[in-house]
Structure 1
């Protein structure tokens, strides 16, 4: 494909299980890429589906296969609802990340469900999806994938930080894009907020009410991952194995959230040279207490865009990854993932 205007949907489901982000966007390729977000929704998961996705890491192969088919149908319903609600037509493609169940690049394995060919038939649209598997097969981390979008759509900023289930940082160094997961964020904060009856820590109110436990903070900051060099990425498996067992040494839930919020700020600040522009998106950008904590630890110039971009940047960039696949252009950078080479990743399904 070589036409320059792309009318597409981008779809993202993150590890924090907030819901399915769907964005209707136009991507335009002239001298540089530009975009417009027309409509966007985050469709929360039904309680049963959310619980299944949370538990799926313990499932056997048969149970995962069943969930994959069920989730594909569930995703198709949400996509059809979005298209019908906003009366969208003439789509070039629906570009979908799917939902990560397993991410074990050290074992050359990653799985995002909802990427079955059946999806194209159920929504009667061309689908571009399953962007991580090829990268892992090429000895890459399969993550993060967003940095190609940071380069092409948000390249005017020195650093791009996404505060989602995990914190991911992206920047240019010696004419290469460098990116990696810094630490878990909402996948941990939301876990403990639920114990206090909330889906997430609104504005960081729980953290503000708690007290940082310095001994536990030191243990968190000493985890081996933080001393590894990039490329590197994190998954839920790592959180379960390392983070929760440390945090559960603290009795009060607000103290846990306060301690972990401080840990996030410390780890992010360690990655930032002074005075650079830092463009922050993802749900954590609404956590004002976390941002205040980060400002105490860094002199980077923090830039928070409009909510439309904060909430939909990942869906927007997966739309871009899909378009790059259709154009047969590289959408995975070896400098980011550690793969053997840059490559054009993803599967294309037609109805």
Structure 2
């Protein structure tokens, strides 16, 4: 494909269940890539949809097939509404990540809802989606996928850190892009904030009101995952198996949040070299207490972009992954995922 100018939508749903991020972006290639996010919106999940997605990890095969069809139809409604509301025309493609339910690369299995061929028919647009499956089939982790975008769009920074449901970071090392998941973030913090009647810990206020529990912190820091070498990635299965049993040893939710926030800051800080630039995006960027805790443990130069990039970098980059797929260029890096080789991943569905 010879297009140099790409008018597309990027669509993303994170594991923290904030909602569906949709971004209308222009990507331009003129020796280097540039972008503009024209308009973006996070469409919150209804309580019913959020509950279904949270419980989907427990569903049997028949129920998973059903919720995949249901979610695809739900996603189509949100995309169509966004397109109509904003008067968008001549879109080249809708590049959608879907919503991760299962992520078990060790079992050669990963599943993102909403990646069915029907999506293209329901929105009457070309769809590029399902980026992770091929990488897992090639013995990769299927994650993280964002680092190719970090390299091509945000390569001026030493580290690119995303604070979403999970923290993941990418950087250049010996001419290769390296990246991996560091720890769970908002999937844990939001879980306990709900017990205090809020969907998230606004500004880290709950954590700030709690008392650090050293014994819990030591148990968290001792988990095997943190001592494994990259490539490595995380999913909710790992959180359910490893994180919640430790934190649930105590009843005080404020203390749990205080301890886990400190844990996140420590785990991120140990991956940073001194005096390097750290470009941070994702919903966790608005957790000022977490950022203050991170600053205590590192002297990295923290850089926060404008809010539209903070909130929509992943949607932007999944738009880029879709464009690279249309160009038949590699969008998955073996140095990041551990796959057998770099490759061009994603399924293309036509209406």
- Deviation digits for residues 80-118 of structure 1 (CA, Å, limit 9, x no counterpart): 010001000000000000000100000000000100000
Specify every segment of 5 or more residues in structure 2 that has no aligned partner in the other structure, as ranges. Answer: none
Q: Normalized against structure 2, the TM-score is what?
A: 1.00
- Number of matched residues? 351
Q: Aligned pair 1:150/2:147, yes or no?
A: no
Q: How does 1:126-205 map to 2 (within 5 A)?
A: 126-205=126-205
Tell me the equivalent position of 2:124: 124
TM-superposition CA deviations, 1:57-97 (whole Å, max 9, x none): 00000000000000000000000010001000000000000
SS class of match (2:341): coil
Structure 1 unaligned segments of length 5 or more: list them: none
> What does residue 232 of structure 1 align with?
232
Shift, 1:31, TM fit:
1.3
Q: SS at the partner of 1:81?
A: helix
**Cα distance in structure 2, aligned partners of 1:2 and 1:103:** 35
Aligned mates of 1:3, 1:312 — CA distance in 2: 24
Write the distance in 1 (CA, Å) between the matches of 2:100 and 2:165.
11
SS of the equivalent of 2:234 reads: coil
What is residue 19 of structure 2 aligned with on the other side?
19
Which residue number corresponds to residue 222 of structure 1? 222
The 3-state SS of whatever aligns with 1:3 is coil
For the aligned residue pairs, the C-alpha RMSD in angstroms reads 0.4
Q: CA deviation at 1:3?
A: 1.3
Distance 1:327 1:251 in 2: 53
Report how far residue 260 of structure 1 moved.
Answer: 0.2
| Equivalent-residue separation in structure 1 for 2:123 and 2:165 (angstroms) | 28
1:62-81 pair list within 5 angstroms: 62-81=62-81
The residue aligned with 2:99 is: 99
Match of 2:264 in 1: 264
The corresponding residue for 1:246 is 246
TM-score by length of 1: 1.00
Q: CA deviation at 1:25?
A: 0.1
Flag as ranges the 4+ runs of structure 1 deviating above 6 A.
none
State the alpha-carbon separation in 2 of the partners of residues 321 and 31 from structure 1: 17
Partners of 2:305 and 2:38 lie apart in 1 by 16
> How many angstroms apart in 1 are the aligned matches of 2:269 and 2:2?
41
